[in-house]
Structure 1
Amino acid sequence: MKKIALTLIPVLVLVLGLPLAIALIVMTVSAPAAAEQLRTIACGGLTPVTGAWRPPFAQAYTVGRRGFGQEFHPIYHEWRMHTGQDLVSQPGPGPVVAIGAGRVAFAGTKGGYGNVVDVQHIDDATGQAVLSRYAHLASLTVRTGAQVTGGQQLGVEGSTGASTGNHLHLEIHVGGTPVDPVAWMLAHGAPLNGQAVASWTPPPGEPVQEGGLGFPLPPAGTPRQASLTNPPQPIPADIKGLYVAAADRYKIPWTLLAGIGMEETAHGRNNTISSAGAQGLMQFMPATWATMGVDGDGDGRAVITNDADSAMSAANYLTKSGVANGPAGVRAALFAYNHADWYVNDVLYYAAAYGGGTVLGSTTECDPGQGSPNLPPLTNDRLRVVLTWAASQVGDRYIMGANGPDAWDCSSFTQAAYAQIGVTTPRTAGAQRDWLAAGNGFRVDPQQARPGDLIFYDSYLGPNTIGHVAIVFDPSKQSTVEAMNSERGVTYGSYAGKAATKTIFQIWRVGNISDQPTRPAV
């Protein structure tokens, strides 16, 4: 185990020794249901590439049955050491890409490997030399000595060498010794879970969040209406200041607010009550204002005709409508603002004209849900694995965007903790909550929290967006184990009082699920 504060060892022993709180909860679940692992419900969208490492495919793939260790060879018909992991892209053979930046140490034909590429890397976290090998390729697109970036194509999946069908044989060598690619990739924030990944990364200077994530505002589509004949107008300096202030509070691109302002009133130039009764700079209906109006100028009142209040309320409305939930979430939030496809495309057209921008959110998209309260909770043995691993990381650093093995941000820490038991969660805190709500868990009353539950609340992403996640450690003391911040790193914390001070405060329980579920013996 890593660094565990001596004063907290009694708490750790209590939790890992299956405290009464866990025992009582588990006893309420029938034995067969509690033992059954159900299949994880995957969300739509793309898995974002985070950190220095990524899977060797951009497209979806399956993880083959032949993994690291002694395996029966399908050609030589004998047990041999299999020093890698077999992967098969879907729906058919696809491009193979580098798992990280490095130099091509070899590209050519090598015995039973067939066409193979070896890439030499340096693991920034440990300083160790790492070699990744990609075998059985149909063709190669790089030469020995070439410098490659993570995600750069190396060749095309094939069946050359001692192979019985199209697949990629992936090997990882650390210090010259082969290691299990599944375990190594998991520890480095790039689990081999079969999901397609996004290739976009924010331009230099653009804001990012956990894992370096973010996505550009989606482009305007068709149909469009006003933007076909009304070009974007210059934004008065005072109005732009209101857009920027509102965007900063709610952490969205100011250009998105400018797009709405241009579409609605040309930034206040046509600021009259509409025929439908909408009012103010951003044209709110009074009924909508009653629930979405917020004070934008600090005078303690939310006035529908006040420009500062109107801009701030538009940002409030968009974030409450899910603007950070991937590109589809942006379009859905704009559609909620005004129910017309042409309106959505007009606003996006104007936003792009004013400079576009990055939305701090995940490209992983989960359908809205309320969770599955009838799911059996994690069994005690699986819960013990999660908590033991989490406690063993205490003392590690907190770095925004880090994926381990010795530095984390809040969501990479919880993602890695649950990955220890074969559960792959999304990368950001908000996406993890949505993933639970999609059917992988259920919300619990804070008074009923148990060790291993996940706590979500708003933080750096503004009042309407989940920005932090922590693991309940000892509910009797309202303590957590979490990647807290850059000052405290991975540590034990507290959730006492947060329900009263946070706009969002939720506790969720992960169900007894697995990416590769098993059934109890009959």
Structure 2
Amino acid sequence: MKKAAIVLVPLLVFLGMPLGTALIITAMSAPAVGQQLQTLECGGVAPATGAWRAPFQQKYTVSDRGFGREFHPIHNEWRMHTGQDMVSLPGPGPVVSIGTGKVAFAGQMGGYGNVVDVQHSEGVVSRYAHLASIDVTRGQSVEAGTKLGVEGTTGTSTGEHLHFEIQIDGRAVDPMPWMTKHGAPLNGKAVAAASQTPEQVPANVEEGGVGFTLPIPGAPRKDSLHNEALPIPANIKKLYIEAGKKYGLAWTLLAGVGMAETAHGRNTAVSSAGAQGHMQFMPSTWQSMGTDGNGDGTADIHNTADSIYSAARYLVHEGATRGGGEGVKEALFAYNRATWYGNDVLYYAEAYGGGIVLGTTTDCTETSGTSSRNLPPLTDARAKKVLTWAAEQDGDDYVMGGEGPDAWDCSSLTQRAFSQIDVSMPRTAAAQRDWLAAGNGIRIKPGEEKPGDLVFWDSYLGPNVIGHVAMVWDPATKSTIEAQSTNTGVGHFSYEGKEDKQIFEIWRVGNVSDNPSRST
């Protein structure tokens, strides 16, 4: 699709900000003007989405020894350093390909020691040097995440590390901005072993294009050792499927709970603890989690549809869509505080076919950081850089799970835009909001927003879950730059009227950076 012309006139509001707004921002910004603070990370492992990824699976540090003239520690002279040095944590780890390609070289190369070169499309070559061992051969095809070898200290090296290079048509370029531009900033964060391209995203994965499989059942188990998974009545299965779709859960997880609790309604007697209904809710929990599942206007603890929908809501509330498999296990433990119970449910879910949870492998909650740290707001110059990049995508398509370069969903566009200034956000809109609340952002009152702020509201995921994010373009007209929908694609739209949504929040990204010592 041809991209529309880029118009950046609204960015002039940076210079013409009303005095009152400027005073508000000053009051919130005790740290020095322009000071960048370290980004607070979420728990879990970042999903590897898109065409490119980091060359490590585990956490790593980015060395100060980067691209450009550096003093050589062995030759004791200034030399051109053609890559970026990196060290995995806590010790030498596997080195993986950053993208799809073919191994162009695998062997020894002078001072580089053991080297693997991967030839990608459009003249791009990625180089991995000083490896302790090599696991691929010349001519072998690799995908993003394929193990190439193990980090080492072969060749001219003073310690275990990875020398990582990017070459374009045979000329080395700085890998830091190149990786950021391609959606895989070198920020030190652990990344899942395998990448997902939009074509590989499961068909039922929607917002964010992020999904993870249900965890396998572990030990101990109890009831499932002698009670096998029973057939599910058609009308009950239909409710599991519908509730699972609404709340982003694999329907089999709800079926696992239904089997563990009442054998899908075969035994709905009040338990000795006082739990009631198809999914066995305690009345006290029902007061806050009870949901009208059948649309009759009443949340009835004894109504099967209401009970199943409420169970889905409760599991999501307790973190089943955050933190990958561990989040699912923690949600099941909250449902019934016994490890064996969660394993029973997962055993039954696996028996019914398993499935995908629409969520993220990262866990970004307000308790993962501190929302009270005194954050300076994102500088105008950095916000302008974010919006300039976003505007260049005007006219691109909207695709659920799209990761670029010409197709996006709302949260992938936002994630990639902020990566241009060395800020890494989680992948989904809901997780991005939680990331901000965890200590990386500042809540803004409606009417006090400025360009580059993020607006969140509930969407197709239901009234209790954030499902959309947009970047503020011009507060005066309440215009945005966003990936809006399949029909409209990426462009300039409006958030006017969204204040009436069940969830409507505006957040300002703090002046944070994954590498605050580096200029962005």
Q: Which moved more, 1:27-36 or 1:187-196?
A: 27-36
Query: How far 1:489 moved relative to its partner?
Result: 2.5
Instruction: Name the structure 2 match of 1:167.
Output: 161
Instruction: Name the structure 2 match of 1:364.
Output: 362
Give the letter for the 1:56 counterpart: P
Looking at structure 2, the residues matched to 16 and 236 of structure 1 have their Cα atoms a distance apart, in angstroms, of 64
Instruction: Name the structure 1 match of 2:83.
Output: 84
Query: How far 1:16 moved relative to its partner?
Result: 6.2
The alpha-carbon distance between structure 1 residues 297 and 32, as it changes in their structure 2 partners (threshold 3 A), is closer
SS, match of residue 415 in structure 2: helix
Aligned residues: 512
Which of the residues 272, 277, 280 maps onto 2:277?
Answer: 280
**TM-score normalized by the length of structure 2:** 0.91
Looking at structure 1, the residues matched to 21 and 389 of structure 2 have their Cα atoms a distance apart, in angstroms, of 18
CA RMSD of aligned residues (A): 2.6
Looking at structure 2, the residues matched to 140 and 109 of structure 1 have their Cα atoms a distance apart, in angstroms, of 10
Give the letter for the 1:257 counterpart: L
Give the letter for the 1:114 counterpart: G
Instruction: Name the structure 2 match of 1:216.
Output: 213
The alpha-carbon distance between structure 1 residues 286 and 201, as it changes in their structure 2 partners (threshold 3 A), is farther
The alpha-carbon distance between structure 1 residues 148 and 9, as it changes in their structure 2 partners (threshold 3 A), is closer
SS, match of residue 442 in structure 2: strand
Correspondence list, 1:190-205, <5 A: 190-199=184-193, 205=202
Instruction: Name the structure 2 match of 1:125.
Output: none
Correspondence list, 1:448-467, <5 A: 448-467=448-467
Give the letter for the 1:191 counterpart: P
Give the letter for the 2:37 counterpart: L
The alpha-carbon distance between structure 1 residues 201 and 345, as it changes in their structure 2 partners (threshold 3 A), is farther
Correspondence list, 1:291-330, <5 A: 291-326=288-323, 327-330=325-328
Query: How far 1:37 moved relative to its partner?
Result: 2.3
Sequence identity percentage? 62
Looking at structure 1, the residues matched to 388 and 203 of structure 2 have their Cα atoms a distance apart, in angstroms, of 37
Q: Which moved more, 1:336-345 or 1:145-154?
A: 336-345
Give the letter for the 1:285 counterpart: M
Instruction: Name the structure 1 match of 2:381.
Output: 381
Q: Is the 8 A contact 2:479 2:492 kept in 1?
A: yes
Correspondence list, 1:92-491, <5 A: 92-122=91-121, 128-199=122-193, 205=202, 207-210=204-207, 212-326=209-323, 327-369=325-367, 371-372=371-372, 374-491=374-491
Name structure 1 gaps, 5 residues minimum.
123-127
SS, match of residue 457 in structure 2: strand
Name structure 2 gaps, 5 residues minimum.
none
Q: Is the 8 A contact 1:422 1:516 kept in 2?
A: yes
Q: Is the 8 A contact 2:135 2:147 kept in 1?
A: yes
Looking at structure 2, the residues matched to 497 and 48 of structure 1 have their Cα atoms a distance apart, in angstroms, of 33
Q: Which moved more, 1:186-195 or 1:271-280?
A: 271-280
Q: Is the 8 A contact 2:180 2:422 kept in 1?
A: no
Q: Is the 8 A contact 1:51 1:211 kept in 2?
A: no
Query: How far 1:45 moved relative to its partner?
Result: 0.7
Query: How far 1:417 moved relative to its partner?
Result: 2.4
Q: Is the 8 A contact 2:144 2:194 kept in 1?
A: no
Q: Deviations over 1:376-420 (max 9, x none)?
A: 222333333333333343333333333344443222222222223
**TM-score normalized by the length of structure 1:** 0.90
SS, match of residue 49 in structure 2: coil
Looking at structure 2, the residues matched to 109 and 328 of structure 1 have their Cα atoms a distance apart, in angstroms, of 41
Looking at structure 2, the residues matched to 22 and 131 of structure 1 have their Cα atoms a distance apart, in angstroms, of 47
Looking at structure 2, the residues matched to 332 and 90 of structure 1 have their Cα atoms a distance apart, in angstroms, of 26
SS, match of residue 476 in structure 2: helix
Q: Which moved more, 1:257-266 or 1:394-403?
A: 394-403
Query: How far 1:32 moved relative to its partner?
Result: 4.5
Q: Deviations over 1:442-500 (max 9, x none)?
A: 32222332222212222243433322211122223222211222333321121122231
Give the letter for the 1:11 counterpart: P
Correspondence list, 1:42-53, <5 A: 42-53=41-52
Query: How far 1:307 moved relative to its partner?
Result: 1.4
Q: Is the 8 A contact 1:200 1:215 kept in 2?
A: no
